[in-house]
Amino acid sequence: MPRYEVTIEKDACDGIFACLTRDPRFVEGEDGLATIDPGADPVYDCEGEVTDTDERVVATFDDDRIEEAKQAATACPTDAIVVEEVDR
């Protein structure tokens, strides 16, 4: 399975939340912007490492759900989300 990172640039996020409908790991954060919560998915028991700073959210996953993350990124009208495969 691919290991991949999902990055949300907070300064580009407008809180439109189109990503939430594509991947249930995306949720609304306390700041009113999108963030990632691996435990928010009601169907899959998902694990991931998430770093949330003032500038960005970076989550690393090692599962077969990269396409869902890419769909969330594509749905973002402000291009605030980047999904890329990373080395193991």
User: By three-state DSSP, how is residue 21 classified?
Assistant: helix
In CATH, what number does 3-85 get?
3.30.70.20
Closest by CA to 9, choosing from 39, 44, 34, 41, is 34
Structure tokens belonging to residue 60: 């690393």
* Confidence (pLDDT) at 42: 83
Domain limits, the chain: 3-85
Cα 45 to its chain centre, rounded Å, is 16
Average pLDDT for residues 52-76, to the nearest whole number?
A: 96
pLDDT, one tens digit per residue, over 18-41 is 999 999 999 999 999 999 999 898
* Range of lowest pLDDT (11-15, 38-42, 59-63, 67-71): 38-42
pLDDT, one tens digit per residue, over 66-88 is 999 999 999 999 999 999 999 76
Confidence of residue 1 (pLDDT cuts 50, 70, 90): confident
